[in-house]
Amino acid sequence: MSRRMHATIPGLGVLCALLLAVPTAFAQPPDAALKEEVKQRLGKVEQSLDDWDVGSARRELAEVEKRVPSELEPLKYFQGRVAFEEGQYDDAVTLLEGANIEDKPGSYLRLAKDTRTIVKDHQRAESEHFIFFYPKGKEEILVPYALETLEAIHRALAEDLGWTPPGKVRVEVVNNARELSRVSTLTEKQIRTTGTIAICKFNKLMVTSPKAVAQGYDWQDTLAHEYVHLVVSQMSHNTVPIWLHEGLAKFLESRWRGKGGLAMTPSTQALLGKRVKEDKLIPFEKMHPSIAMLPTAEDAATAFAEVFYAIDYIHGTKGTAGLRALLQELKAGQPDKKAVEVATGMPFPLFEKTWLYYVKKQPFPQELVPRDDRVVLKEDAKGAQKDSEKKGREISFGGFSEVTEVPARKFAHLGEVLRERNRVKAAAEEYSRAHKLVGDKYESVSNKFALALLELRRLDEAESVLRGSLRMHPGSPSTNVHLGRILLFRKDYPKAKTAYLEALASDPFDPEIHVALTRIHGALGETALAARTRGAAANLTGLKPDDVDRAAQAFLRAEDELSETKNVPAGTPDAPKPKAAPKPAPQPAK
């Protein structure tokens, strides 16, 4: 859960000092009324920026520009601030340097310089309401899906909250946690501790590439989550406290793909249930100034779950009208407790009591489920291998260390040994024993069991195991890929498409997903989408488009070949570099 943060960064406290320079910057003694007007207008510029209203800041600044010399340092400072918020980083650096802003960590000058350096070679793509900046390379694959997700959440929030941002929203993709730290002012330690993967600040969205995360992350939901933050900040003039901010973003992030409130996973529910039982919930006021600054990732995940259910409760009782009323009251200057009282129609102590009762009656899993929402950066993953060495979704012999039940772990390990020795039927029996002991609790056990069943052509059983795992671990890319293989083999193209798109929503750089979707879109007559995925597969594998088509057509051939080991498309992460024409033929992998 703790992968998206709305960073609340304190102001730099420079306005008063800069305004003291106003009288000395005039060639002649200024008129007292003019001096006072300039101070007031610059104060309004500062307030507009704090309110996330860059348009108003720009208009006020234009009026100041008509009245004072261009070399005035306070003018240059605010011109630099506005240029930074508008994404004009070269201008921002020049102006902030002209204002004699100190180049130190946390300063707007350092932010402008670092951001300029990081995004200077980024590619640019646009849709009706968004501008998407991304690093050269495989991030190009993200572009159409990202823009479709953003436009979908834009439509949904216009309907739910009645607000759309002015102009086009800037979205910047960074390569890793180090870059996210440099463009956001969060420290790397804060980012790693809480699993922060994206931030909404400075009138834009900043998102880490899925390539930086060991097993990917729900990057499309994350884009939507950060956009909710932007809308809430703008429409409320940045008056929403962090606990309500995060609750709204978490509850509404799924609106791009359906109704709100779909973001809660069994693993997070299990964690929340544990904290409720231990009476260790995080008080709302302790979530300020940012959930990213809580001591541990577990604390952050618990906080996200708490605030999700706060908004879920308000929405469940008052609908979107309750959410709008909440934001309107906060925009009008009401404190958070009063705004909640108006939105819910009950005193805040009663709201807290009924919210806690609502939380406690949730269907918490009986035992803790391994957290599948935890972000593990590739550089932090123990024993992580490069993409060129091994597919992230394929689990090695030691991949059952998360299984705490010793008998189940032993059965699973034995199954892996047997499968490596090509004794698939015996392996399936051992996996089955492990699965009977732990059920759908562990993705590793479920997926290995399903792969063995798939090789034995026991497709119905394999599908049942995979769907059970998805109920416990929704959105798992590995599980969806394996389910997609079964559905594609059956030529159930609509359902196969859904499975592979679910996998893409977390792991967009797996070549198999794009090869499979090329075949699926072609079979469904979706020519433009087939061209999209063909290009993505070529980008990731180095194959020529014609070779991608051959690989797509060969994908999961006849039933009598289902249990045979075939070559994967040349250029995929676990395949050697092709010396001659590549051999298509993705088959169920070991």
Residue 3 scores a pLDDT above 60: no
Q: Is residue 38 part of a domain?
A: yes
Residues of the chain with pLDDT > 70, as a percent, come to 84
Of the three residues 208, 238, 268, the one that is the final residue of a domain is 238
Residue for token pair 């507009």: 48
Residue 106's pLDDT band (cuts 50, 70, 90): confident
In this prediction, residues 291-300 reach a mean pLDDT of 83
Determine the pLDDT at residue 508.
96
> In terms of domains, do 155 and 218 share one?
yes
Q: Is residue 566 part of a domain?
A: no
Say how many residues make up the chain: 590
Q: Which tokens sit at 136? A: 């050269």
Q: Is residue 582 part of a domain?
A: no
Residue 319's pLDDT band (cuts 50, 70, 90): very high
Determine the pLDDT at residue 381.
62
Residue 8's pLDDT band (cuts 50, 70, 90): very low
Determine the pLDDT at residue 71.
86
> In terms of domains, do 318 and 195 share one?
no
> In terms of domains, do 364 and 414 share one?
no
Residue 227 scores a pLDDT above 60: yes
Determine the pLDDT at residue 365.
83
User: What does the alpha-carbon distance between residue 340 and residue 21 come to, in Å, rounded to a whole number?
Assistant: 43
Residue 460 belongs to a domain with what CATH number? 1.25.40.10
Q: Which tokens sit at 491? A: 């030529």
Residue 13's pLDDT band (cuts 50, 70, 90): very low
Q: Considering only residues 138 and 9, tell me which one the structure prediction assigns the higher pLDDT.
A: 138
In this prediction, residues 43-67 reach a mean pLDDT of 94
User: What does the alpha-carbon distance between residue 150 and residue 129 come to, in Å, rounded to a whole number?
Assistant: 8
Determine the pLDDT at residue 527.
96
Q: What is the pLDDT of residues 172-225, one digit of tens each?
A: 999 999 999 999 988 888 888 778 899 999 999 999 999 998 888 999 999 999
Q: Is residue 455 part of a domain?
A: yes
> In terms of domains, do 222 and 297 share one?
no
Q: What is the pLDDT of residues 114-147, one digit of tens each?
A: 999 999 999 999 999 999 999 999 999 999 999 9
User: What does the alpha-carbon distance between residue 33 and residue 25 come to, in Å, rounded to a whole number?
Assistant: 16
Of the three residues 238, 272, 302, the one that is the final residue of a domain is 238
Residue 561's pLDDT band (cuts 50, 70, 90): low
Q: Is residue 569 part of a domain?
A: no
Give the least confident one: 186-195, 235-244, 337-346.
186-195
Q: Is residue 86 part of a domain?
A: yes
What is the DSSP code string of 500-556? HHHHHTT-TT-HHHHHHHHHHHHHTT-HHHHHHHHHHHHHHH---HHHHHHHHHHSS
> In terms of domains, do 226 and 266 share one?
no
User: What does the alpha-carbon distance between residue 375 and residue 379 come to, in Å, rounded to a whole number?
Assistant: 12
Residue 384's pLDDT band (cuts 50, 70, 90): very low
Residue 425 scores a pLDDT above 60: yes
Residues of the chain with pLDDT > 90, as a percent, come to 68
584 within 8 A of 550, measured Cβ to Cβ? yes
Axis-axis angle for helices 336-344, 242-252 (nearest 10): 40
> In terms of domains, do 98 and 135 share one?
no
Determine the pLDDT at residue 222.
96
Could you tell me whether strands 4-5 and 198-201 are parallel, antiparallel, or unpaired per DSSP bridges?
parallel
Determine the pLDDT at residue 367.
73
> In terms of domains, do 495 and 412 share one?
yes
In this prediction, residues 73-79 reach a mean pLDDT of 93
Q: Mean pLDDT across the chain, nearest whole number?
A: 85
Q: Which tokens sit at 563? A: 């249990």
> In terms of domains, do 201 and 278 share one?
no
Residue 11 scores a pLDDT above 70: no
Residue 29 scores a pLDDT above 90: no
What is the 8-class DSSP label of residue 560?
A: G
Residue 202 belongs to a domain with what CATH number? 3.40.30.160
Q: Is residue 386 part of a domain?
A: no
> In terms of domains, do 363 and 495 share one?
no
Range of the domain at 545: 400-554
User: What does the alpha-carbon distance between residue 232 and residue 234 come to, in Å, rounded to a whole number?
Assistant: 6
> In terms of domains, do 161 and 227 share one?
yes
Determine the pLDDT at residue 303.
92
In this prediction, residues 555-564 reach a mean pLDDT of 48
In this prediction, residues 499-505 reach a mean pLDDT of 96
Residue for token pair 């950066």: 377
Determine the pLDDT at residue 214.
82
Q: Considering only residues 573 and 424, tell me which one the structure prediction assigns the higher pLDDT.
A: 424
Residue 588 scores a pLDDT above 80: no
In this prediction, residues 523-530 reach a mean pLDDT of 96
Residue 406's pLDDT band (cuts 50, 70, 90): very high
3-state secondary structure of 249: helix
In this prediction, residues 574-588 reach a mean pLDDT of 34
**Number of structural domains the chain divides into:** 4
Determine the pLDDT at residue 388.
36
Residue for token pair 């939380």: 359
User: What does the alpha-carbon distance between residue 342 and residue 328 come to, in Å, rounded to a whole number?
Assistant: 10
Determine the pLDDT at residue 67.
87
Examine residue 289 and say whether the peptide bond preceding it is cis (omega within 30 degrees of 0).
Answer: yes
> In terms of domains, do 35 and 72 share one?
yes
Hey, which residues does 377 pair with through a beta bridge? 213
Q: Is residue 268 part of a domain?
A: yes
Q: Considering only residues 559 and 167, tell me which one the structure prediction assigns the higher pLDDT.
A: 167
> In terms of domains, do 224 and 295 share one?
no
Q: Considering only residues 18 and 257, tell me which one the structure prediction assigns the higher pLDDT.
A: 257
